[in-house]
Amino acid sequence: MSTPQNPAPQPANALPEVTPSAPQYGGPAQPPVNQPPAGKPFYKKWWFIAIIVVVILGLASMCGGGDKAADSPTATESAAPASTPSEQETAVATITMPDVTGQKGDAAKKAIEDAGITSLVTMTDVDGEDSVWNPANWSVVSQEPAAGTEVAADVEVTLMVNHDSEDEAEAKAAENQAPDVPREYVAALDKARTYATYMHMSKQGVYDQLTSEHGEAFPAEAAQYAVDNVQADWAANALESAKVYAEHMSMSDSGIRDQLVSEYGDKFTPEEADYAIAHLND
């Protein structure tokens, strides 16, 4: 018969063996033995809360900036560059050039300004000898642009003028002629001077105007006396007329010459017309 073996001796410091007991219903659950207690959830930790705060502040800042931009639309509008004059076409008024030939320089200048022309009016001595200081002492002989021309308001205007003292000298010379010259002859001479100087008419054209029943209706003798004694440069008159045809009517040289010599036109001599064509481009 076998003898029972004694159990092995246990170490003195050994822990007693614990047998897990069955859970007791109705009582509080006991934590497992030797298991550390559970930590805080991550959403309660300080670092997570700090991240949430930073995100909220960032969103608030972004929303605040958007509201300011929406509340001030004029800021964007005011930043847009204003249109410059070069981007907008400036309409220039069209004006009919007034006829100022025969007028005093100051009156002619006022008439041009009253018509709406805004540019500087230049006055030049027709003889090229003197400077025009007092326009009131000068009379307009010709003008550029010509009367009746449609021009811009800022067009450059040039008036060829003659000093009144020269006209007075011619008038006095006529008055001081022999006393047997009839008054009507002297009157015809004064009219001839006007047509030749201010309208650049030919000698034959002046004569016809003086004798025409629809014109001055002077006797033929008075008209002949006038054209024979008037101090006029007929060739220069032909040139002035030719310039008008060339610049404002765009005529050819041949057409201009025909108009100058035509009996239905200006009635200049062929020599005067040739002079005008030869110097047309001077």
Would residue 14 count as lying in a domain? no
- Between CA 102 and CA 88 the distance in angstroms is 41
**What residue numbers bound the domain in which 246 lies?**
178-279
Which of the listed residues 166, 190, 207 is the one where a domain comes to its end?
166
| 209: number of Cβ within 10 Å | 19
Would residue 24 count as lying in a domain? no
254 and 218 in a common domain: yes
User: How far from 32 is each of 4, 38, 146, 237, CA to CA, in Å?
Assistant: 37, 12, 121, 134
Which of the listed residues 166, 192, 223 is the one where a domain comes to its end?
166
Looking at the chain, list the stretches that DSSP marks H as alpha helix, in order from N- to C-terminal side. Answer: 46-71, 73-79, 105-114, 164-175, 183-198, 203-211, 220-229, 234-248, 253-261, 270-278
224 and 266 in a common domain: yes
- pTM, two decimals, is 0.42
Q: pLDDT tens, position by position, for the chain (282 residues)?
A: 445 555 555 555 554 554 555 445 444 555 555 555 556 666 666 777 778 877 787 777 776 655 554 455 554 555 555 555 554 455 667 889 999 988 888 899 899 999 998 888 888 887 776 777 788 888 898 999 998 889 998 889 999 888 876 555 555 565 555 568 999 999 999 999 999 999 999 999 999 999 999 989 999 999 999 999 999 999 999 999 999 999 999 999 999 999 999 999 999 999 999 999 999 988
143 and 189 in a common domain: no
